[in-house]
Copies of this chain bind each other. A is one copy, B any other.
Amino acid sequence: MAARISTKDKILNAAEALFAEHGFEQTSLRQITADANVNLASVNYHFGSKKALIQAVIARYSSLFMPGLDAKLKQLQSHPQISTREVFDCFREPLRDLVHINKRGPAIYLSLLGYAYAEIQGHLRRFTMQEYGDVILRLVTLLHAANPQLTAEDVFWRLHFVLGATVFAQVSSQALQEIAKADFNSDVSAEDIIDKLIPFIAGGLDAPHENEI
């Protein structure tokens, strides 16, 4: 049978799967505790509140992902020439390493980020910016170095477009995978989506600025 998993971890495991699939607010503590086979009250006992549980779920991933990304970015920083593609490639390994938390860890983390942005009014975003602001700054700086033709503001906006395309793809990945299977008879894993995504976002970021009519 299964090994000895603490109630706290049972809750985290069940919660992250449900959060990633349905979002935070749409997932009830009763669903989580039922899936985890623990008592309803244990969430409040171990985490204090649902909000604290949400933060704990995200923190477990961010505390693994962010340092990994930061190391990759630092490494790239020493290069004389930097391409957008190289910057985004920095995400691959740290993202892939999230399988150590959960087999579907990479997809789960991206979904969580997506819901965090969409649902909670800046609360979780501010938390992330505060905790890992230096990583984000390094990322923006490198992207700007790779695209000196853009203004800092353009880089800012395009980075968020990238974020949008990424999390959206993950959040709706299940439905899209089913459609792709039906229409093109192709099996696309969560990692395959990343592979399809990176050329897209790199191309978008490298696009020339336009003054527009």
Contact = CB atoms under 8 A, between A and B. Distances in A.
Interface of A: 23, 25-26, 114-115, 117-119, 121-122, 125, 152-154, 156-158, 160-169, 171-172, 175-176, 179-180, 183-184, 186, 193, 195-210, 212
A125 B175 contact: yes
A179 B175 CA distance: 32
Contacts of A201: 161, 204
Contacts of A210: 195, 198-199
B204 A209 contact: no
Contact of A160 (B23, B167, B172, B195): B172
Contacts of A152: 184
Consensus secondary structure, chain A interface: helix
22 contacts: A114-B168, A115-B118, A117-B171, A118-B118, A153-B180, A153-B184, A153-B186, A156-B180, A157-B180, A157-B193, A157-B196, A160-B172, A161-B197, A161-B201, A164-B164, A165-B165, A165-B204, A168-B168, A199-B209, A203-B206, A203-B207, A204-B207
Given A114-B118, A153-B186, 11 more contacts: A23-B118, A25-B25, A118-B118, A157-B196, A163-B168, A164-B166, A164-B168, A199-B207, A199-B209, A200-B204, A204-B207
B165 A161 contact: yes
Contacts of A207: 199-200, 202-204
A23 B211 CA distance: 33
Nearest to A207: B203
Contacts of A171: 117-118
B168 A160 contact: yes
